[in-house]
Chains A and B, each alone.
Chain A
């Protein structure tokens, strides 16, 4: 099965700085990589995703990069704000030999991001 490793487990930055979270995955057949943000006591919310046919995707202050050869993907947050403080989970979805997806999300262990004002 798929295995996703996420680093760092905690990240503390000053407001305005950039934050980078990295994930590696084990199964080269994985083809979809979402990032979820979960604030304390709330639901995981998708913030950005990337498919295996794309190397980079950006949405305002958030970007994700994917290196299929090295099997790793990263989340980049620029100009961080206190409201960015949350737990961030990367995930991967495994695809079978036919190219369809089981829809089974395998999550990384999470990164607790704290943005200090």
Chain B
């Protein structure tokens, strides 16, 4: 099973709302990633968690707050977002973060900020 599951599939929120995106994998992977993808553009890395610890933060604004409660779950907490944050948010996982290995992507959450 190479499934990475993301919920919700779609999310509409106002600029004052607080919401969370969820990602789950049961492949025993110890590295998990958040990417942001705008239309017709490649995914851009936001965060990397390795063994439940934040390993990389690509200078993402603090209105995005990642959390890794355990090795299977990854959350992205959203607060006071801007309309330009509207995008497809992709989660990915890989066996580990310290070797070149396959990243499996979830189907994404399509976020619209009004």
Contacts and interface: CB of A to CB of B under 8 A. Distances in A.
B86 interface: no
A82 interface: no
B100 A32 contact: yes
B57 to A, nearest CB: 12
Interface residues of B, number: 25
Contact of B105 (A32, A43, A51): A43
B99 interface: yes
Interface string B42-69: 1101001010000010000000000000
Interface-central residue, B56, B100, B106, by most chain A CB under 10 Å: B100
A105 B45 contact: yes
Interface string A93-108: 1010000111111011
Interface in B86-114: 90, 94, 96-108
A11 B98 CA distance: 35
Interface-central residue, B56, B94, B99, by most chain A CB under 10 Å: B99
A42 interface: yes
Contacts of B41: 109-110
Given A43-B107, A43-B108, A34 B42 contact: no
Interface string A73-117: 000000000000001010001010000111111011110100000
B102 A49 contact: yes
Nearest to A104: B45
B98 A109 contact: no
A100 B98 contact: yes
B93 to A, nearest CB: 11
A46 B104 CA distance: 8
Interface of A: 31-32, 34, 36, 42-46, 49, 51, 87, 89, 93, 95, 100-105, 107-110, 112
Interface of B: 31, 33, 40-43, 45, 48, 50, 56, 90, 94, 96-108
26 contacts: A32-B101, A34-B102, A34-B103, A42-B107, A43-B107, A46-B102, A49-B102, A51-B100, A87-B40, A89-B43, A95-B100, A100-B98, A100-B99, A101-B98, A101-B99, A103-B31, A103-B33, A103-B96, A103-B99, A103-B103, A104-B45, A104-B56, A105-B45, A107-B42, A108-B42, A110-B41
